[in-house]
Structure 1
Amino acid sequence: MNFLASKAQLRASFLRWSLFLVPLVVLLGFLAGQLGGPDTAWFQNLTKPSIFPPPAAFGIVWGILYVMVGFSVALVASAWGASGRGLAIVLFALHFIGNLAWTPVFFGMQDMMSGLYVLGYVVVSLLVVIWAFWRVRKWAALLLLPYLAWVCFAAVLNYQFIVENPGGGHGDESGAVERITL
């Protein structure tokens, strides 16, 4: 016998990890979203870039992506005995903290530039996670590719918000904004 577990045992392990990790990832994403959001007067008054999708798209896309991310992590977590499994999980956790930090930074602190820095960290750390997941389970890495595409889009969108709102969207105390062009 040259294997650690039968295929049935591996499927059961994946199912257990999925039942734990998919709801956990979705819940954490939801909770992070509660720390700030697009409903603020500050965000409503920002000039929206032309690439800004309909607001409903964000909840739909993030919901689907978080489910895919949860399954991806479950594939790695259920790979008992795989070389690099522990490192891949730790790298993911460090990455996901950055992902969860973006909403409170961008919306809560109303700091678009710091939000862009956070997204830079998210993209780079996600590339490292994809590499680590690939070494453990290729399907886990492939499940993260749509997520990578979305966070790259989010970084471009964040940058476009900075370009369209050079003052950070903050006017004076009355809420008025004055722009002077030379």
Structure 2
Amino acid sequence: MDNLQTSQRLTPVWFQIAGLAAWLLLCFAAAGVGSSVTIPQIPTWYAEINKPSFNPPNWIFGPVWTALYLMMAFSVWLVWMKAGWLDAPGALGVFCFQLLLNVAWSVIFFGLENPTAAAIEIVILWAAIGATIALFWRHSRIAALLLTPYLAWVSFAAVLNFSIMALN
């Protein structure tokens, strides 16, 4: 029997649900902080800077990020359920670190209006997501795979960030 099924069988359902709720809350709190810096800049500073022709329409970012944060929360919850803090402190710690970097990128790019510093930071974020995927793979392949769209989107965001930096 899979270790996750065994651990879920031994863990009360209310604890599993509370854990999922906590990870959802953490991920969407990060989203909220990032959005609070980003949204006010969309019609002002971001509207005025030069963007490449492949820049997506503004409306696409909300749904994409919502889906990505949901996948992040489920991914980290799977690892937490299977391994917990004691068996996976590195994996869960790196996840929290990359989430902090995710918020920091919004603060740097939009809040500080600094695409150059954000370009440097997004490379670090990309590496942290890759490290999270590698560490999650050891505990749950599904959890790792749930993060691959996030890595793909941040890869695209990095190209967009570097293009905006070059055009401005």
Given the two structures, how large is their TM-score scaled by the length of structure 2? 0.87
In the TM superposition, residue 17 of structure 1 has moved relative to its aligned partner by 1.7
Which of the pair has more CA radius of gyration? 1
CA RMSD of aligned residues (A): 2.2
Following the alignment from structure 2 to structure 1, what is the Cα–Cα distance between the partners of residues 25 and 114? 29
Equivalent residue, structure 2, for 1:118: 121
Aligned residue number for residue 15 of structure 1: 17
Q: Is 1:130 matched with 2:133?
A: yes
Distance 1:48 1:28 in 2: 26
**Which has more helix, going by share of residues?**
2
Q: Distance in 1 between matches of 2:113 and 2:103?
A: 15
Following TM superposition, by how much is the alpha carbon of 1:57 offset from its aligned partner in structure 2, in angstroms? 0.4
8 A contact 2:85–2:92 mirrored in 1: no
Q: Which runs of 4+ in 1 moved over 4 A?
A: 3-7, 81-84
Partners of 1:49 and 1:157 within 8 A in 2: yes
Identity %: 32
CA separation of 1:135 and 1:49: change in aligned 2, threshold 3 A:
same
* Aligned-pair CA distance for 1:39: 2.7
3-state secondary structure, aligned to 1:92: helix
* Contact 2:8-2:16 at 8 Å conserved across structures: no
Identify the residue that residue 70 of structure 1 maps to in structure 2.
73
What does 1:69-148 correspond to in 2, within 5 Å? 69-80=72-83, 84-148=87-151
Structure 2, unmatched stretches of 5+, are none
Q: CA deviation at 1:35?
A: 2.2
Q: TM-score, normalised by structure 1?
A: 0.81
Residues 7 and 82 in structure 2, CA contact (< 8 A), matched pair in contact too: no
Going from structure 1 to structure 2, the CA distance change for 1:82 and 1:29 (only over 3 Å counts) comes to: closer
**Shift in Å, 1:23:** 2.8
Query: Which amino acid is the alignment partner of residue 71 of structure 2?
Result: M
